[in-house]
Amino acid sequence: MSLTNRVSLFFLTALGLVLVGFSAALYFLADHHLHSRADHRLDTALQTLVAAIEVHPDDVEWEPLERHITMGDDPGPDQLRWSVHDLNGKLLDCSPNLEKPGEGTEPTTGSGWRVLTRRVRAGNFAAEPLGDETAPRRGPLLGDFPGGEMPGAVRLPHDRTYHGAGVVLTVAVADAPAAAELRHLTLAMAGISAVIWLTAAFWGRLLCRRALAPIAKMAASARSVPRTATDGPLLDVSPSRDELEDLGRAFNDLLADLRLSLERQHRFTGDASHQLRTPLAAMLASVEVSLRQVRSPAEYQRVLGVVQRRGVQLRQIIESLLFLARAESDCHLPDAETIDLAGWCRSWLNSWADHPRASDLAFHTGEGAAPVRANPALLGQVLDNLLDNACKYSEAGSPVVVSVETEGAEAVLVVSDRGCGITPDELPLICEPFFRSAQSRWTGARGVGLGLTVARRLITLLGGRLDVQSEPGHGSQFRVTLPVEPSSGDGRDTGAGKAPERPEVGVGQVSEEGIYMP
């Protein structure tokens, strides 16, 4: 079933329930109104009959010739009927339409009548219920007369005056007119509801189809989008300014992200192939040249050195690619421990003593400890990558500053340089695999473009984040933010003075001014 049919079915079902509920409520209200009106007519007619009776302490008088009652002259089915009996049940008087019913008038016995009966006795000026009945409303109009004498079956005398101990007054009105009105109302409501429902079904389906047309349009455009294209048109979104337009734009954003991911994957595959082919080509070229003729042991050693260096480079690239290819859920932080970030950085910088730019390194730290929970080896790799980039893209003799600060519940490791800087357009891309800025390609700086990618991944594993601020021609600043580890308060060593977790290539120290001294 299509979405249009489901929405139309839901709408029509709801409308049908509303129409049925409204019709039922209207029917019951009309039924209550008609019967209340009939009861009011009965009460008024009974009061008229009671007013025509003279009640004395010893008897009651019924004198219709002196007090003529005009009720019941019309024989119509919707007119009132009334009768007067003595206390023994003898008929004394009745309405003309009860004595001489018109043609087609329903019988005055049995059901189908709404009846009110009251008794008036001598000495009691108020009409009272008959027996245990308090307000009878339904039942036979008159009951059994003495000797089976029914109105219309006997001729009452002209003088119907009565003096006696009491009388029984009965008034009635037929239910047939009210029932006919209810039938007409039922048929009218059924017809009107059917017309409304059918009209709503026709126009509602058209409106649903028109309202859902943007979805069908998006589905058609989605089927026409090439499965492997990295560019081209996206979904055709109609400017309807509603939730459907928001849905279409959200799908377009998702498709754009998927295309970007696909493009990055293709670029990553091409760059990886290129970077793997370069050391392999150098290794094969060196081996082929050495095999063309017999060479001296020194030449072979030189070729083997080239092969070794290229092999190490190739291994580093492969290890970086394997690390980046792992899902984040498969990467766990091994052997994490609490270290003082400032003390650890001071110790780790000792391993840079033999670096050609060691004299340019400077270290600053704020007051107080900055305990963080991290793996020293991974954190050292992050710092080495940031320092290596700072040294590569800044001139010799310009300072490279490493500082540790505490900002609230976070510890910040900052590496700043005064190098060539990064343009604003390239800042969002510097952590992408194999990305190298135009300046780095122009200067011919060594590297494959995986350092910052690996560094960002490692920082994420450590629970931190990497932020970059740069200005072309004035240098860059890389900020590694890590959460501060709450103090345990047990006096245990936090690693403030631990030696680096790798063999040192030289020995140095940090002066009081913060300048690294080899």
In DSSP notation, 409-452 reads TEEEEEEE--SS---TTTGGGTTSTT---HHHHHHT----S-HH
User: Given this model, what pLDDT does residue 376 score?
Assistant: 84
Residues 158-182: what's their mean pLDDT? 88
In DSSP notation, 106-139 reads PPSSSSSEEEEEEEEETT--S-B-STT-SS--BS
**Which has more pLDDT, 511 or 366?**
366
User: Given this model, what pLDDT does residue 131 score?
Assistant: 57
For the ranges 226-240, 328-342, 408-422, 459-473, the lowest mean pLDDT is seen at: 226-240
The pLDDT-based confidence of 516 (bands split at 50, 70, 90) is very low
User: Given this model, what pLDDT does residue 324 score?
Assistant: 61
The pLDDT-based confidence of 223 (bands split at 50, 70, 90) is confident
Q: Give the closest residue to 95 by CA, choosing from 38, 163, 170, 41.
A: 170
Beta bridge partners of 414: 403, 479
For 233: left if phi > 0, alpha if psi spans -120 to 50, otherwise beta; the answer is beta
Residue 274 has pLDDT above 70, yes or no: no
Q: Give the closest residue to 383 by CA, choosing from 354, 421, 341.
A: 341
Q: Regarding the domain delimited by 243-325, which CATH topology (the fold level of the hierarchy) does it fall under?
A: Helix Hairpins (1.10.287)
User: Given this model, what pLDDT does residue 321 score?
Assistant: 66
For the segment(s) 337-517, the CATH number from 2.30.30.240, 3.65.10.10, 3.30.565.10, 3.40.920.10 is 3.30.565.10
Range among 144-148, 237-241, 452-456, 468-472 rated most confident: 468-472
For the ranges 32-46, 141-155, 270-284, 285-299, the lowest mean pLDDT is seen at: 141-155
3-state secondary structure 341-366: HHHHHHHHHHHHCCCCCHHHEEEEEC
SS3 463: coil
Residue 444 has pLDDT above 50, yes or no: yes
Residues 82-101: what's their mean pLDDT? 80
For the ranges 281-285, 313-317, 389-393, the lowest mean pLDDT is seen at: 313-317
3-state secondary structure 30-75: HHHHHHHHHHHHHHHHHHHHHHCEEECCCCEEECCCCCCCCCCCCC
Residues 130-145: what's their mean pLDDT? 42
User: How many C-alpha atoms does 359 have within 13 Å on its Cβ side?
Assistant: 4
Residue 313 has pLDDT above 80, yes or no: no
**Which has more pLDDT, 75 or 162?**
162
Place of tokens 């800087």: 421
Residues 62-89: what's their mean pLDDT? 84
User: Given this model, what pLDDT does residue 70 score?
Assistant: 82
Residues 468-480: what's their mean pLDDT? 89
Contact 205, 211 (CB under 8 A): no
Residue 152 has pLDDT above 70, yes or no: no
How many angstroms separate the Cα of 258 from the Cα of each of 187, 227, 252, 472? 61, 11, 10, 32
Residue 414 has pLDDT above 90, yes or no: yes
For the ranges 116-125, 229-238, 379-388, the lowest mean pLDDT is seen at: 229-238
Residue 303 has pLDDT above 60, yes or no: yes
Q: Which residues of 494-512 are buried (b: 16+ CB within 10 A; e: fewer)?
A: bbbebebbeeeeeebebee
SS3 282: helix
Q: Is the pTM for the entire model greater than 0.75?
A: no
- State both tokens at 211: 């309202």
Calculate the average pLDDT of the chain: 77
Residue 492 has pLDDT above 50, yes or no: no
| CA separation for the pair 263, 225 (Å, rounded) | 16
Q: 230-255: per-residue pLDDT in tens?
A: 566 676 777 767 777 787 778 778 87
User: Given this model, what pLDDT does residue 64 score?
Assistant: 85
Sequence-ordered list of residues with C-beta below 8 angstroms from that of 131, at least 6 positions apart, any chain: none
User: Given this model, what pLDDT does residue 246 score?
Assistant: 80
How many angstroms separate the Cα of 320 from the Cα of each of 306, 314, 444, 450, 460? 21, 10, 22, 7, 15
Place of tokens 């001296």: 296
**Which has more pLDDT, 276 or 499?**
276
The pLDDT-based confidence of 518 (bands split at 50, 70, 90) is very low
For the ranges 156-165, 324-333, 456-465, 497-506, the lowest mean pLDDT is seen at: 497-506
Sequence-ordered list of residues with C-beta below 8 angstroms from that of 340, at least 6 positions apart, any chain: 369, 370, 371, 494, 495, 496
User: Given this model, what pLDDT does residue 18 score?
Assistant: 94
Residues 155-175: what's their mean pLDDT? 85
Range among 111-115, 141-145, 434-438 rated most confident: 111-115
Contact 418, 394 (CB under 8 A): yes
Range among 26-40, 253-267, 390-404 rated most confident: 26-40
| CA separation for the pair 382, 495 (Å, rounded) | 18
Contact 205, 146 (CB under 8 A): no
Range among 127-141, 142-156, 289-303 rated most confident: 289-303
| CA separation for the pair 485, 411 (Å, rounded) | 9
